[in-house]
Amino acid sequence: MSSEISWQPISLSNKRNIMNTHIPFTHRQSAHCESGVTSNLLRHHNIQCSEALAFGIGEGLFFAYLPFIKLNKLPLTTYRCAVGNIIDKVNKRLGVDLERKKFRSPEKAMQALDEKLLEGIPVGCQTGAYWLPYFPPAFRFHFNMHNLVVIGKEGDEYLISDPVLEDTVRCKSADLARARFAKGALAPNGAMYSISSAPVNPDIKQAVKQSIVAVSKAMIKTPVFFLGTRGINFLANRVAKWPKNLGDKKASLYLGQLIRMQEEIGTGGGGFRFMYAAYLQEAAELLGIEELHSASNDMTLIGDTWRSFAVSGARICKGRPKKDDTYLHLSKILQQCAGDEKKLYQRILQIMQ
């Protein structure tokens, strides 16, 4: 019965803060929301950190196939770490102080946001993309891990730097409140964060070194069969059995969901593999380690292999498979991804020794 008590209408009461404030904030479009928000917030505090760098230092790259967690009745696959980890890791590694808050009441959550804005501090918010009216309708799914930066308020409208969009947008306070209090898996509970202090000269090189090693280890040394490169192999085995176990229709739904997670949800292409390749390239220059350039090239090729999976799989989803487009073939592509990635992480660990 506790759920009864906690119910509040999503539409806010009339007690709204009407104010005008616009924080000068440079909006840069990014491929992925969390790494984009992290990068944009850091740049606002004078730390030059590209999206790829934020993604890498935040140990964004990962893989997990979690068939026991269902999203819209379909198994969850992720090509990145858990939500919120990127920004937390980056800040920890660079010595940035991040203030994080969650709320029970939308009223209080919006008030706290307004207070920060009045202080001139841009605020990151975790939201449910489904409720954001400015989002392209085709992307309006229940997806509670969407990050954005609120940079001002004019009357009843918030000014928002949503990193996956080309330009800043406006959003009515009632809609933003709804998005901040989206329900379901990974409900944001009004989560918001802002940088309270940032170091003048953070040790980016050290952070890069640590993160590259950490990502490689997480990918090949996690002793669980559904995580890391083992997870890719696990998925490969499952994919081969889908048509037999699920029937054609359901198998194609599973496949479609898989491709969506890989390509659509702001991954920068190839399930974040291209973004990570960009990171390795930046790391090679920062650290002056030539071998990381070739590691970056290899990662690009792996990204291309993931893309070929999407191309072939999508043809099956459309019901127009070519001769080679079979689940068995898809399974082989995944095995290749798993094998190539494993080799690459092993090599990276050797380089970084």
How distant is the alpha carbon of residue 246 from its chain centre? 29
Which one of 1-9, 109-117, 219-227, 329-337 is the stretch in contact with other proteins (CB under 8 A)? 1-9
Of residues 181 and 234, the one with the C-beta less far from other proteins: 181
Binding to other proteins in span 319-348, by CB under 8 A = none
Residues 6+ apart with CB under 8 A from 75: 65, 66, 67, 68, 69, 254, 257
Backbone angles phi and psi of 319, in degrees to 5: 80, 20
**How would you classify the pairing of strands 146-155 and 19-22?**
antiparallel
Contact code string over 17-56 relative to other proteins, x by CB under 8 A = ------------xxx-------------------xx----
Q: How far is the CB of 321 from other proteins (least distance, A)?
A: 12
Q: Positive or negative, the Cα torsion across 255, 257, 263, 229?
A: negative
Contact code string over 86-125 relative to other proteins, x by CB under 8 A = ----------------------------------------
Residue selected from 263, 342, 344, 352 as contacting other proteins according to rule CB under 8 A: 263
Question: How far is Cα 343 from Cα 122, in angstroms, rounded to an integer?
Answer: 41
Q: How far is the CB of 267 from other proteins (least distance, A)?
A: 8
Q: Should residue 73 be labelled a site residue for other proteins when binding is judged by CB under 8 A?
A: yes
Question: How far is Cα 27 from Cα 84, in angstroms, rounded to an integer?
Answer: 20
Contact code string over 118-157 relative to other proteins, x by CB under 8 A = ------------x-----x-xx-xx---------------
Nearest partner of 39 among 271, 30, 191, 83, judged by Cα? 30
Residue 99 β-bridge partners: 194
Binding to other proteins in span 169-208, by CB under 8 A = 183-184, 187
Q: How far is the CB of 214 from other proteins (least distance, A)?
A: 21
Which one of 6-14, 80-88, 195-203, 213-221 is the stretch in contact with other proteins (CB under 8 A)? 6-14
**For 263, which DSSP code?**
I
Query: Which tokens go with 143?
Result: 């997806």
**How would you classify the pairing of strands 97-101 and 169-172?**
unpaired
Question: How far is Cα 213 from Cα 351, in angstroms, rounded to an integer?
Answer: 10
- Where along the sequence are the contacts to other proteins (CB under 8 A)? 1, 3-4, 6-11, 29-31, 51-52, 72-73, 130, 136, 138-139, 141-142, 164-167, 183-184, 187, 252-253, 256-257, 259-260, 263-264, 266, 268-270, 274-275, 277-278, 281-282, 296-297, 300, 303-304, 307, 310-311, 313-315, 317-318
